[in-house]
Amino acid sequence: MFFAIISLLLNMFSFLILARVLMSWVPNLDPYHPVVQFIMQATEPFLKPVREALPPAGGFDFSPIVVMLLAQMLARILINFAG
């Protein structure tokens, strides 16, 4: 049960990362909107270290992809462990 809850939270976190990526494509998005602030504050502590560890990639930020993959892998491992 505990592992299933953690897995669910990791999946929800992946959706937050996806929302952040989609927000980056929206022009004129209000950075002070509470929803935008929440998504940024919830994801930046995880994205920043990965962004700093990755080598420059011609202006592209691959940290959301890396963090989402890690979160999904961890979620699957926890589900299999709880199985």
Please write the tens of the pLDDT for every residue from 4-20. 888 889 989 999 999 99
Q: What is the pLDDT of residue 59?
A: 84
Residue 24 confidence class, pLDDT cut points 50, 70, 90: very high
Q: What is the pLDDT of residue 82?
A: 74
Q: What is the pLDDT of residue 33?
A: 96
Per-residue b or e along 21-59, where b marks 16 or more CB atoms closer than 10 Å to that residue's CB: eeeeeeeeeeeeeeebeebeeebeebbeebeeeeeeeee
Task: Give the domain extent around 46.
Answer: 2-54+61-82
| pTM of the full structure | 0.86
Domain total of the chain: 1
Q: What is the mean pLDDT of residues 22-44?
A: 95
